[in-house]
Structure 1
Amino acid sequence: MSADECKSGVLPNLLLGGPGRTGTTSLFAYLSSHPLVCGSQKKETGYFLNPLFNQPLAPIETYTKLFAGFTGQKYVLEATPAYLLGGRKVADAIKKVLGDFRVVFILRDPVERYISGYWHIRSKVLQDESLTCDDYLTRSLGVTIESLQGFDDLHYAILVEGKYADYLEQWYEVAGEDSIYIMFYDDLVRDQPETLRELLAWLHLPPEGIAERMPHSNKALQVRSSTMQQLARAIVKNGEPFLLRHPNLKRALSEIYYAVNSKGKRETCPPRIRSYLEDYYREPNRRLGVLLREKNTPQLPGWLVEY
């Protein structure tokens, strides 16, 4: 159900908590298209991130207005990919404001996610084609949870964000196992229709009236023109409520943009960067595997099986 069809003052009971570069934009669009789901007027509200920066929440009215038009749908949805990284600080704030809620996390091989995140930050966020893999890694290594002071710092938090177990443990302690659903990016790639059916079943949502697949959104790419990229970002930012109401139009415009402003074959990060990342995430992945097995998570992906 589109955002403008959704009563002022309502609060969400379903969150997509990230992390970034895992398909949260596409999943948000997909779930928002369900007749029993009211999606926020903009996908990434970021409302509960302030505690991560040791700042108070904004007035609640700034949040509830994003769900104006709600008419009794089963779920009210928002998606902010950095919620996972916020761990206990963010989870506690959400619990205090929302009460009972459900949250979905999509986990992806942190090495692949980091590399995808680098290209996204370089081309779409910072729009700095001179930013090398080495430069980005050097900046990222200086970031800790304690050092985060604002939203801009999140551009370099992708590395530390990949230590999923550190944050998931805190989320489980605050929200409880029954309120958390773990998806794997690998499953969305391998068998998206079945993976989405399993999610709908967990949400007790009928599959009728919704597509079998998600729209493909927010691709990482190298751009030909930074000016065109800036124009596209402005259009998306100002027109997001309208585009969320017309997903087919958004999809068509996105494909035209990718065709016109993508360089096509993308550069690759040096092999030594990948080797470093594999070593960096070895112990965090081991702890994640232990945690998910404790929670009886079925069918762990290949990047976790060895742990």
Structure 2
Amino acid sequence: MSNSVKPNLIIAGVNKAGTTSLFTYLSEHPDVCGSKIKETLYFLPLRYGEKELPPLEGYLRNFEQCNDSKYAMEATAGYYYGGAMVAQAIKSTLGKPKVVILFRDPIARLFSFFKFKKSSLELEQTLTFEEYIQKCESLSPDERVKRENNAYWGVEGGYYSKYLKDWFDVFGDDLKIIFFEHLVADPKTTLVEICEWLGIESENFAKSLTYSVENKTMNFKNRFLQEFALKVNWKAETFWRSHPGIKRFLREIYHVINGASYRDVISPETRKQLEELFQPSNHQLAMELSRRGYHNLPDWLAKELEIVSS
């Protein structure tokens, strides 16, 4: 195992905030080698209070192809919510990796997470967004953090400020915060920023990329076809990672055959409720990021600083 490659670039969160797109983009850089599967989940047991990790040898097999790369990368979006326990385990196991965390407007992320869990067949198709929020909040803090209740992590997953200090305490300048809104609105500039932080070529690489939304949640018409597609997608992930163009082509065909629009919407009343719910966490997050030199914030955070200065 002495010659095994250990990852030194981790995309640690958060769910439904662009981690798949960023992983896909960076995997195309000549100095970055993506893991055989995007989400190795290796450190995730610690998030759920499980004391032992799987054998390290199995984890490192995901990076056997990365011997000649400056960076070996994986992206498990659930790591962030493991806080200090997961952050410290990553550092003690991997040495001094670079860590990227993506944040997204927690209301938009919650709604996307809700739709994703429906499309993954983890929630009843008849469940409304309001009913889902009620279910999330009805769970006690001890119940929310259990692995078996992950489908109802949607609301809790928007309280980003709970975990940020732990990650900065462990990784300091080796931690980079990126915003979903910036990645979507201006992916080229965002990729240049990340590449410069990593110390790898940026301008030519960012210009050469074909930017597309990866892992976009889609509704479906036929449940049987959706079940089959989910199984194929999971079992063939190593192949898809090596042949992203084929995956995009087949995905477009599948969406034509079995895709459907969502009927779920966020009502004005529900949006107001969620704004009030997330505001304290957003405010704390904005203050912490500003203190650490992050001044180009998306609107949902920038307005928290405007409140302070007014």
**Which of residues 225, 235, 242 is equivalent to 1:245?**
242
Deviation at 1:43, TM superposition (A): 0.5
Per-residue CA deviation, residues 12-44 of structure 1 (Å, 9 max, x unaligned), is 110111101111111111111111111111101
From 21, 24, 36, the equivalent of 2:19 is 24
* 1:268-287 superposed Cα distances (whole Å, 9 cap, x missing partner): 13332222211110100000
Matches within 5 A, 1:146-165: 146-147=142-143, 150-165=146-161
Q: Write out per-residue CA displacement over residues 244-288 of structure 1, whole angstroms, 9 at most, x where no aligned residue.
A: 001111111111122222213543133322222111101000000
The aligned counterpart of 2:104 is 108
Residue type of the partner of 1:37?
V
Letter in 1 for 2:201: P
Q: Does the Cα contact within 8 Å between 2:4 and 2:64 map onto a contact in 1? A: yes
Aligned pair partner of 2:199 in 188, 196, 204? 204
Opposite residue 111 of structure 2, the aligned amino acid is I
CA contact (8 A) 1:196 1:212 kept: no
Asked whether the 8 Å contact 1:222–1:266 carries over to 2, the reply is no
C-alpha distance in 1, partners of 2:20/2:225?
A: 21
The code of the aligned residue for 2:258 comes to N
Question: CA shift at 1:224, angstroms?
Answer: 0.7
In structure 2, distance between residues paired with 1:205 and 1:140: 42
CA distance in 1, matches of 2:230, 2:3: 28
**Aligned match for 1:98, one of 94, 100, 106:** 94
Residue from 236, 239, 242 that aligns with 2:233:
236
**Which residue of 1 is the match for residue 307 of structure 2?**
none
- Equivalence for 1:132: 128
**Aligned-partner Cα distance in 1 for 2:211–2:101:** 16
2:276 to 275, 279, 300: 279
Q: RMSD of aligned C-alpha atoms?
A: 1.9
> Relative CO higher for 1 or 2, CA cutoff 8 Å, sep ≥ 6?
1
Match of residue 44 from structure 1: 39
Who is 1:119 aligned against?
A: 115
Q: TM-score, normalization: structure 1?
A: 0.92
- Structure 1 position 189, deviation (Å): 2.2
Distance 1:229 1:127, change over 3 A: farther
* Structure 1 residue 223, shift from structure 2 partner: 1.1
Indicate the SS of the match to 1:267: coil
Distance of aligned partners of 1:143 and 1:48 in 2 relative to their CA distance in 1, 3 Å threshold: farther
Pick one of 171, 174, 183 that aligns with 2:170. 174
Aligned counterpart in structure 1 of residue 10 of structure 2, from 15, 22, 42: 15
Distance 1:173 1:125 in 2: 37
% of aligned pairs identical? 34
For normalisation by structure 2, the TM-score amounts to 0.91
Equivalent of residue 264 in structure 2, options 253, 267, 270: 267
Match of 1:69 among 65, 72, 82: 65
**8 Å Cα contact 1:103-1:180 kept in structure 2:** yes
Give the equivalent residue in structure 2 for 1:89: 85
Find the aligned partners of 1:76 and 1:48 in 2 and give their Cα distance. Answer: 16
SS of residue in 2 equivalent to 1:298: coil
Alpha-carbon displacement from aligned partner over 1:177-236 (angstroms, at most 9, x marks no partner): x11111111112221111111111111121345633443211122211111111111111
Q: Is the 8 A contact 1:8 1:64 kept in 2?
A: no
Offset, 1:141: 1.2
Paired residues, what number? Answer: 300
Unmatched runs of 5 consecutive residues or more in structure 2: 305-310
Aligned to 2:294: 297
Question: Using the alignment, how far apart are the partners of 1:188 and 1:69 within structure 2?
Answer: 28
- Equivalent position amino acid for 1:41 in 2: K
